[in-house]
Chain A
Amino acid sequence: MGVKQLSSASAITGSKSNKFWDQSTYVGDFVQIASAVVDSSGTPQIAFTNIPQNFTHLQLRTSSRDTNTSTGTPSLGIRFNGDTSASYNYHVFYGTGISSTATGSGATGYTYSYALNGTYDGNTASVYCANIVDFIDYSSSNKYKVTRTLTGIDYNTTSYSSYINFISTSWNNTAPISSMVIQSSTLHKQYSRFDLYGVR
């Protein structure tokens, strides 16, 4: 159900009201925030800063590859608000085409959020890893932050594992997420892209 614009003269003001009704759009809008596209030089980090706080959720959509020439599946670490402490946890449930496995830890603290997967440059050429990550109620100042991810990559080979994953992570901090840095093990490779959206 959409809620149409009512009146620009509403007495309701401020960011909280904007989360429900921003005077110009429908509830449920999926809105551009920022995009990052990697060029031939590569880059070790993607940084989204000054993330607006007037959405309810965020979604990050990526297509990425790493310049590291190893084979296998790297996790791309994310840090929120520059937090380098061991305050991140994750669980993952994945299938390789041969077996299905669950792993992770809700007790051990990690110094990165492993909400994203990637692919090394030693794998099948021209294959980029796809990730869709939801950051639920990211601007709350009362709750720890939880992400959920659908990610996958298929290499069309048995030399190393393809995978399809569900990932959940937590950042054990109640601060609103105002920035995130996505760290490569070496460099994010050319044609990798990272697109951030807001969901009203």
Chain B
Amino acid sequence: MGVTYTSGNASAYISIATYTVTGSAVASYTFSNIPTSYTDLVLIGSPNNGPGTYPFVQVGNGTVDTTSSYSSTQIYGSGTTVGSTRLPSTTYGWGGTANAYSNIKIYFMNYANTNTFKTWLCRGGSASDYVSAEVTLWRSASAINTIKIYPDTGTYPVGTTFNLYGIKAAG
């Protein structure tokens, strides 16, 4: 056999949940009970004059994993320099870059598979700091149904938005 092919023609990019910070700033936001019926997840964030330098991401199944099970690699351009750096064995993964009026786009690939470690890719950027891309490994074969995002310092102000989408493969 070797490989199983399936085909489809349904719309594949589905909104799962949306969150907007209202009233007062928040230290973090957690998407819980994420359905595992999709193939990939996409998290799009738009911090409003956001804090810190990095959005940090923790994931889990039921609860977020706060152990040193994450590692990230980044490439970035600051406007004057290009570089690459990494975080080995940390308690969070990178979710892009932040700071004032940044944007975040995170792709959680094959997030519901219970046989493989999980990898996510990020595109981030802020006019005041960096354009960047990141890859993070979460060394767990658990399906992801919980995602927490928080800034390295400070809080997310009113007006910040986080949108979670599911991408459903054919079959």
Contacts and interface: CB of A to CB of B under 8 A. Distances in A.
Task: Say whether chain B's binding surface is mostly helix, strand, loop, or mixed.
Answer: strand
B2 A38 contact: yes
A96 interface: yes
- What class of interface size applies to chain A in its complex with B? 35 or more
Contacts, number: 179
B170 interface: yes
Given A31-B9, A162-B73, A156 B89 contact: yes
Interface stretch (A83-91, A105-113, A189-197): A189-197
Contact of A32 (B1, B10, B89): B10
B12 interface: yes
Contacts of B4: 36-37, 39
Interface in A159-200: 162-164, 166, 187-188, 190-191, 193, 195-197
Interface centre among A36, A46, A153, A195 (most CB of B within 10 A): A195
B104 interface: no
A129 B2 CA distance: 19
A122 interface: no
Task: Say whether chain A's binding surface is mostly helix, strand, loop, or mixed.
Answer: strand
Nearest to B77: A100
Interface centre among B40, B71, B89, B137 (most CB of A within 10 A): B137
B84 interface: yes
A3 to B, nearest CB: 15
8 closest residue pairs by CB, A with B: A152-B135, A95-B84, A97-B86, A95-B75, A32-B8, A43-B2, A156-B71, A30-B13
Given A128-B109, A154-B72, A191-B110, 14 more contacts: A30-B11, A32-B169, A33-B8, A35-B6, A41-B2, A63-B109, A95-B73, A126-B117, A154-B86, A162-B86, A162-B135, A191-B113, A193-B169, A197-B12
Interface of A: 25, 29-39, 41-43, 46, 61-63, 93-100, 124, 126-130, 132, 150-158, 162-164, 166, 187-188, 190-191, 193, 195-197
